[in-house]
C-alpha cells in the first residue's frame, strides 16, 4: 500500500465525522489567524514607520510629549503639541549643523485628510510625484495625496473648504476655498493621506478672517491669488495643547479689529460685561459669547509673529545628533525630538501588546490541539471496528498509527490554511472600517511557514495518544465484541 | 489447502483451548458448529493469524502462518484470506465501490476494478456501487460483505456467524450465493455458526 492511500484513508475518516472535524478546523483556524494577523500587522507597522521616517533626523516643535510631536508632525496621527514661532524656527534653520529644514503647519482637515502647510521639499522627502496636474504654487492651491484624492473624490480644479481641527466635523472655514491643482501618485506612505499646500495658505485661512483689511474681505473667494499680508496687525491663532475643536475666530481682544461683526461682538461684550457686573440675567447665547471672548483675552498672547507647527530637520553630519537636540532644548522655546528614537520607543511599547496577544493566540492553538485530541479519541472509540476492518484487510499496526496521526496533522494544516485566509480577509476588510490604512493584499511571511511547522507539531502531538491507542487495538477482542470496547 | 494440526490456544485468563485437527481443501465449504463460548471465533481468528496459538501448526497453501512475523501475517491475511462478520462492518466515509477498493488497497494489491464490477454484478449490488453502505438493506449489506471478502480472490474465506442476524429468506439467499458463487470456485470456506439452518447444506461439519 502506498503512502497516498494512507492520506486518503485519513482524509475520509475526517470527512466521515465532518461536524467534529469542522469544529477542530475552525478552532485551529482562529488561533492561526490571530497570530498571522499579528505578524502582518507588526511587519506593516514596522515597515510603515521606517519608510515614513524618510530621512528626517530631528523634529523641532512646541514643548510637550516628544512622541506626540513625532506622531503629529511626521506620522500625522496625533494632535500637535502646539505651535512654534516662525522667527525662532528660521533662526534655527541657519544653524551650521543643519543641512535642510522643512516647515510643517497643521490646523485643518478636509473629510479627515489633513491639510499640511509646507514647502515642496516635503513631497521630495517622500519621493512623491504627480499623476495629474501641477504642483500647488499660489496661496490656497493644494496638491492631493493619492488616498486623499481617491476618498474625497476631488479632481483637478475642484474647490473645497477646510474644517478646523482633525475631526471631520467642526467649524468650517467657509470664507476660504482651496483649489486642487495637482494629484500625487501612490507612494504607500503617509503623504498619500495628506493635502499639501503652502504654509501661507494655512496662515491665510487662520488669520485673514479677522486681520485683513476690508478690501480683502470683499474679494471673491476663488480669487485669493495675492500674497498674504503678514504685517497686518496680526495676532496669531493660538493652538496650544491641541485644542482645535473650539475655535475662537471672534476673540475680539484686538481693539483695531475692523470687521463689522466683530465690532458688533465687541459692543455686545461690553454690554454683557456691564450686565454681569450688575448681577443681571443674561441669555445662554450671550453667556457663550462672553466666555468665548473672555477666554480669548486670557489665553491668546498678542504677538505679531507668525507660527508654524513644527520644523523637520535634516543634519549636515553625524555630530549634529549629539549637539543639536540639546541646543534646541536648552536655548530655545522649542523641544527637539528624534523620530527614529521616539518611534523605536513606540514600537517597543506596541511589542508588549503584540506579545500579549500572541500568548493568547497560542492558548487558543493549545485548546485547538486538545480539541483535536478529544475529537480523534471519540472517533476512535466509535470507529474501533473500522480500525479492526483495516487490520483484517491487511493493514499493519504502523499503517493504523499513521492514519490516525495524519488526521491530527491534516486538521492542523487545514486550520493553518484557513487561518491564513482569515487573517488576509480581516486585513482587507479593516481599511474599509477605517481602522488601518489600506495596504493592499499582504504577501506571505516566512514566520507564517514557521507557524505551519508549530501547528503541525501541535496537531501531531494531539493525535499521538489516539494513534498509539489505535496501534495497540486488539483486533480479536474488537471483532468478538462487535466493535464495542 | 488449510490444515490445522495439534492446535492449542491459551487465553490470557489461563483457559486453554485444544482444537481438533482440521483440513479444508480448495473449493471446499466447511461448517464449524458449536454453541457460543465453544471457541469458534478463536479458531477462525487463529486461522486468520489475528490470534497466535500456543502450540500447533496452521498451514495455508503450504505457508506455515504461525511462523510469519506480525507485519507479514497482516499482509498475508489481506491477500489470501477474506472475512465475513456477524455485524456488517464498513468504512462509513466511503461508498460501496470505495469500500471494495479499500479492501484491495489495504492488502497491498493494486485495485482491480474489473474484478470488483464482476463481483458487484454477481451479488446484485452493482447499482448500489455509489451508495453509502449504511443506505443498504440487511440483505444488500450481507451481499456487500461477501463481495468484499472475495475482493482479493482469496484462498480462504472465514465467516463468523454470518447468518445469525438474518431472517430465513435472507439466510437461504446467503447459502445459495456462497454455494453457487463462481468467483469463489477455488476458494475454501470455513463458516463458524451455531445456526442449525445451515447444517443440512454442508457436507463437512467440524464440531467443537
Shortest Cα distance, chain A CAs vs residue B168, angstroms: 22
Distance of alpha carbon B64 from alpha carbon B45, whole angstroms: 15
**Cell numbers standing for residue B173:** 439467499
| pLDDT score recorded for residue A274 | 64
User: Looking at residue A283, what is its pLDDT?
Assistant: 60
Residue B21 φ/ψ, nearest 5 degrees: -65, 150
In this model, does residue A47 exceed pLDDT 70? yes
Window from A100-114, A243-257, A313-327 with minimum mean pLDDT: A243-257
Q: What's the pLDDT score for residue A19?
A: 92
Q: In A, residues 351-390, which contact B (CB 8 Å cutoff)? A: 383, 385-386, 388-390
Is A288's pLDDT higher than 60? no
3-state SS, B48-82, equals: CCCCCCCEEEEEECCEEHHHCCHHHHHHHHHHHEE
Residue with cell 461683526: A261
Q: Do A470 and A404 contact (CB within 8 A), yes or no? A: yes
Kindly state whether A476 is in contact with chain B, defined as any CB-CB distance less than 8 angstroms. yes
Nearest chain B alpha carbon to A1: B108
Confidence of residue B202 (pLDDT cuts 50, 70, 90): confident
Q: Nearest residue on chain B to A12, judged by CA atoms?
A: B93
CB-based contact (8 Å) between A42 and chain B? no
Last residue of a domain, one of A314, A337, A360: A337
Taking CB atoms and an 8 Å limit, are A392 and B86 in contact across chains? Answer: no
Residue A242 — very low, low, confident or very high, per pLDDT cuts 50/70/90?
A: very low
* E strand spans, chain B: 2-10, 16-18, 22-24, 29-33, 55-60, 63-64, 81-84, 156-160, 188-193, 204-207
Q: A104 with A158, same domain? A: yes
Cβ-based contacts under 8 A for chains A and B: 81
pLDDT surpasses 50 at A309: yes
Q: Is the pLDDT of residue A50 over 50?
A: yes
Write the residue in A12, A14, A385 that is nearest to B89 by C-beta.
Answer: A385
pLDDT at A101 exceeding the cut of 50: yes
Interface check A13 vs B, CB under 8 A: yes
Q: Give the contacts of A29 (CB within 8 A, at least 6 positions apart).
A: A414, A415, A416, A418, A419, A422
- What pLDDT, on a 0 to 100 scale, did the predictor assign at position A255? 38
Pair type for strands B2-10 and A334-337: unpaired
Residue A472 confidence (pLDDT) above 70: yes
**Nearest CA distance, A1 vs chain B (angstrom):** 4
Confidence at B6, pLDDT banded by 50, 70, 90: very high
Residue with more model confidence, A456 or A173: A456
Q: What integer is the mean pLDDT of A324-344?
A: 89
Taking CB atoms and an 8 Å limit, are B103 and A397 in contact across chains?
no
Q: Is A1 on the interface with B (CB under 8 A)?
A: yes
The number of distinct structural domains making up chain A is 3
| Cβ–Cβ gap B50/A475 under 8 Å | yes
Chain A residues with beta carbon closer than 8 angstroms to that of B93: 12-16
Q: Are A479 and B45 a contacting pair at CB < 8 A?
A: yes
**Which of the 8 DSSP states describes residue A191?**
G
Indicate whether A456 belongs to any domain.
Answer: yes
* Mean predicted confidence (pLDDT) in A438-467: 86
Mean pLDDT value across residues A84-111: 88
In a domain? residue A345 = no
pLDDT, mean of residues A2-21: 88
Report yes or no on A19 lying in a domain: yes
Contact criterion met (CB < 8 Å) for B160 and A479: yes
Tens of pLDDT, residue by residue over A399-426, are 999 999 999 999 999 999 999 999 998 8
Beta pairing class for B2-10 and B55-60: antiparallel
> Is it the case that residue B101 has pLDDT exceeding 70?
yes
Q: Distance from A24 to chain B by nearest Cα, in Å?
A: 18
Q: Which residue of A has its CA nearest to B85?
A: A479
Residue A342 lies in a domain: no
Q: Which residue of A has its CA nearest to B12?
A: A477
A170 with A91, same domain?
A: yes
**A272 and A165 fall within a common domain:** no
**In this complex, is the C-beta atom of A169 within 8 Å of any C-beta atom belonging to chain B?**
no
Distance CA A334, CA A69 (A): 11
**pLDDT band with cut points at 50, 70 and 90 for residue A258:** very low
Is residue A260 very low, low, confident or very high in pLDDT (cuts 50, 70, 90)?
A: very low
For the ranges A84-93, A280-289, A310-319, the lowest mean pLDDT is seen at A280-289
Classified as helix, coil or strand, A294 is helix
Question: Who wins on pLDDT, A262 or A393?
Answer: A393
A160: helix, strand or coil:
strand
| Residue A210 pLDDT level (bands cut at 50, 70, 90) | very low
Same domain as A161, residue A40 = no
Antiparallel, parallel or unpaired: β B156-160 and B81-84: parallel
Please state which of the ranges A121-130, A166-175, A247-256, A286-295 shows the lowest mean pLDDT: A247-256
Q: How far is CA B131 from CA A481, B99, B125, in A?
A: 27, 11, 10
Task: Pick the residue of A4, A21, A394, A472 with the most B CBs within 10 A to test the interface with B by mutation.
Answer: A394
- Integer Cα distance of B96 and B90 in angstroms: 9
For the cut 50, the answer to whether the pLDDT of residue B141 exceeds it is yes
pLDDT of A467: 95
Query: Considering the domain B2-207, what is its CATH architecture?
Result: 3-Layer(aba) Sandwich (3.40)
Q: Which residues of B touch A1 (CB under 8 A)?
A: 105-108
Nearest by CB to A393, which of B51, B78, B98? B78
The highest-confidence range among A217-221, A223-227, A347-351, A416-420, by mean pLDDT, is A416-420
Share of chain A above pLDDT 70, in %: 76
Residues A308 and A295 in one domain: no
User: In angstroms, what separates the C-alpha of B176 from chain A's closest C-alpha?
Assistant: 25
Q: How confident is the model at residue A211 (pLDDT cuts 50, 70, 90)?
A: very low
Residues of B in contact with A397 (CB under 8 A): 70-71, 74
| Together in a domain, A402 and A427 | yes
Q: Are residues A293 and A326 in the same domain?
A: no
Q: Which of A12, A15, A393 shows the shortest C-beta gap to B107? A: A393
- Predicted pLDDT of residue A53: 82
Task: Provide the mean pLDDT of chain A.
Answer: 79
Same domain flag for A269 and A239: no
pLDDT score of A253 more than 60: no
pLDDT in tens, B29-80: 899 988 888 889 999 999 999 999 999 999 999 899 999 999 999 999 999 9
**Are A219 and A256 found together in one domain?**
no
Same domain, A78 and A9: no
Q: Is A432 on the interface with B (CB under 8 A)?
A: no
Confidence of residue A376 (pLDDT cuts 50, 70, 90): very high
Q: What is the mean pLDDT of residues A154-174?
A: 82
pLDDT higher than threshold 90 for residue A317: no
- Subunit contact B45:A391, Cβ cutoff 8 A: no
| Partner-chain contact A386 B87, CB within 8 Å | no
Looking at residue A14, what is its pLDDT?
92
Same domain, A113 and A196: yes
Say how far apart CA A419 and CA A38 lie, in whole Å: 12
Please judge whether A479 and B74 are an interchain contact, meaning their C-beta atoms are less than 8 angstroms apart: no
Q: Provide the 10 A C-beta neighbour count for residue A301.
A: 10
Indicate the pLDDT class of residue A240, thresholds 50, 70 and 90.
very low
Q: What is the residue range of A85's domain?
A: 58-243+304-337
Domain boundaries, chain B: 2-207
Residues A215 and A333 occupy one common structural domain:
yes
The pLDDT of B176-188, averaged and rounded, is: 79
Q: Are B174 and B167 in contact (CB under 8 A)?
A: no
Q: How confident is the model at residue B178 (pLDDT cuts 50, 70, 90)?
A: confident
Amino acid at each position: 500500500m502506498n503512502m497516498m492511500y494512507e492520506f486518503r484513508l485519513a482524509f475520509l475518516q475526517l470527512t466521515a465525522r465532518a461536524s467534529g472535524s469542522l469544529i477542530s478546523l475552525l478552532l485551529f483556524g482562529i488561533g492561526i489567524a490571530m497570530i498571522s494577523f499579528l505578524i502582518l500587522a507588526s511587519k506593516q507597522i514596522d515597515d510603515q514607520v521606517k519608510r515614513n521616517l524618510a530621512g528626517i533626523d530631528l523634529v523641532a516643535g512646541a514643548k510637550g510629549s516628544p512622541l506626540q510631536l513625532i506622531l503629529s508632525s511626521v506620522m500625522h496621527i496625533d494632535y500637535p503639541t502646539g505651535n512654534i514661532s516662525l522667527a525662532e524656527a528660521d533662526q534655527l534653520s541657519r544653524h551650521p549643523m543643519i543641512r535642510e529644514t522643512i516647515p510643517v503647519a497643521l490646523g485643518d482637515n478636509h473629510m479627515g485628510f489633513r491639510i499640511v502647510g509646507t514647502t515642496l521639499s516635503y513631497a521630495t522627502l517622500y519621493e512623491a510625484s504627480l499623476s495629474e496636474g501641477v504642483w500647488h504654487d499660489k496661496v490656497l492651491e493644494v496638491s492631493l495625496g493619492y488616498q486623499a484624492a481617491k476618498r474625497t473624490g476631488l479632481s483637478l480644479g475642484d474647490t473645497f473648504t477646510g474644517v478646523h481641527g482633525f475631526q471631520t466635523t467642526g467649524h468650517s472655514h467657509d470664507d476660504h476655498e482651496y483649489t486642487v491643482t495637482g494629484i500625487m501618485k501612490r507612494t504607500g506612505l503617509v503623504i498619500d493621506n495628506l493635502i499639501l499646500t503652502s504654509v501661507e495658505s494655512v496662515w491665510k485661512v487662520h488669520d485673514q478672517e479677522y486681520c485683513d483689511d476690508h478690501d480683502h474681505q470683499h474679494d471673491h473667494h476663488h480669487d485669493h491669488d495675492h500674497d498674504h499680508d503678514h504685517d497686518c496687525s496680526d495676532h496669531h491663532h493660538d493652538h496650544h495643547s491641541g485644542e482645535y475643536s473650539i475655535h475662537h475666530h471672534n476673540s475680539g481682544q484686538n481693539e483695531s479689529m475692523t470687521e463689522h461683526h466683530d465690532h458688533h461682538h465687541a459692543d455686545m461684550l461690553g454690554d454683557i460685561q456691564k450686565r454681569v457686573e450688575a448681577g443681571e440675567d443674561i441669555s445662554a447665547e450671550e453667556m457663550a459669547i462672553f466666555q468665548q471672548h473672555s477666554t480669548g483675552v486670557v489665553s491668546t498672547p498678542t504677538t505679531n509673529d507668525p507660527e508654524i507647527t513644527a520644523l523637520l530637520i535634516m543634519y549636515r553630519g553625524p555630530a549634529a545628533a549629539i549637539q543639536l537636540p540639546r541646543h534646541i532644548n536648552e536655548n530655545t522655546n522649542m523641544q527637539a525630538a528624534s523620530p527614529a528614537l521616539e518611534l523605536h520607543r513606540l514600537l517597543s511599547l506596541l511589542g508588549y501588546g503584540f506579545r500579549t496577544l500572541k500568548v493568547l493566540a497560542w492558548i487558543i492553538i493549545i485548546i485547538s490541539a486538545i480539541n483535536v485530541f478529544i475529537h480523534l479519541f471519540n472517533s476512535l472509540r466509535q470507529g474501533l471496528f473500522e480500525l479492526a476492518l483495516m487490520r483484517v484487510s491487511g493493514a499493519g499496526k504502523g499503517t493504523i498509527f499513521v492514519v490516525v496521526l495524519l488526521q491530527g496533522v491534516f486538521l492542523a494544516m487545514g486550520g493553518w490554511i484557513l487561518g491564513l485566509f482569515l487573517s488576509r480577509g480581516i486585513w482587507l476588510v479593516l481599511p474599509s472600517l477605517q481602522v488601518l490604512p489600506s495596504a493592499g493584499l499582504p504577501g506571505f511571511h516566512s514566520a507564517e511557514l514557521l507557524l505551519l511547522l508549530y501547528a503541525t507539531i501541535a496537531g501531531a502531538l494531539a493525535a499521538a495518544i489516539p494513534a498509539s491507542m489505535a496501534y495497540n487495538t486488539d483486533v480479536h477482542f474488537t471483532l468478538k465484541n462487535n466493535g464495542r470496547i | 489447502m488449510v490444515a490445522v494440526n495439534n492446535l492449542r490456544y491459551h487465553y490470557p485468563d489461563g483457559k486453554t483451548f485444544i482444537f481438533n485437527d482440521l483440513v479444508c481443501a480448495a473449493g471446499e465449504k466447511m461448517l464449524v458448529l458449536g454453541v457460543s463460548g465453544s471457541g469458534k471465533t478463536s479458531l477462525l481468528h487463529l486461522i486468520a493469524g489475528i490470534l497466535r496459538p500456543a502450540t500447533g501448526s496452521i498451514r495455508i497453501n503450504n505457508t506455515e502462518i504461525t511462523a510469519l512475523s506480525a507485519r507479514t501475517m497482516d499482509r498475508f491475511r489481506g491477500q489470501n484470506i477474506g472475512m465475513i462478520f456477524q455485524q456488517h462492518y464498513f468504512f462509513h466515509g466511503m461508498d460501496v465501490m470505495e469500500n471494495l477498493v479499500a479492501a484491495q488497497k489495504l492488502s497491498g494489491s493494486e485495485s482491480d476494478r474489473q474484478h470488483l464490477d464482476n463481483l458487484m454484478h454477481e451479488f446484485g449490488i452493482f447499482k448500489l456501487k455509489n451508495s453509502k453502505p449504511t443506505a443498504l438493506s440487511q440483505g444488500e449489506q450481507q451481499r456487500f460483505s461477501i463481495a468484499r471478502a472475495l475482493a482479493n480472490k482469496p484462498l480462504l474465506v472465514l465467516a463468523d456467524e454470518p447468518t445469525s442476524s438474518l431472517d430465513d429468506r435472507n439466510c437461504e439467499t446467503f447459502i445459495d450465493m456462497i454455494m453457487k458463487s463462481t468467483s469463489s470456485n477455488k476458494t475454501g470456506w470455513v463458516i463458524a455458526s451455531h445456526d442449525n439452518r445451515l447444517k443440512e447444506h454442508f457436507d463437512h461439519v467440524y464440531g467443537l
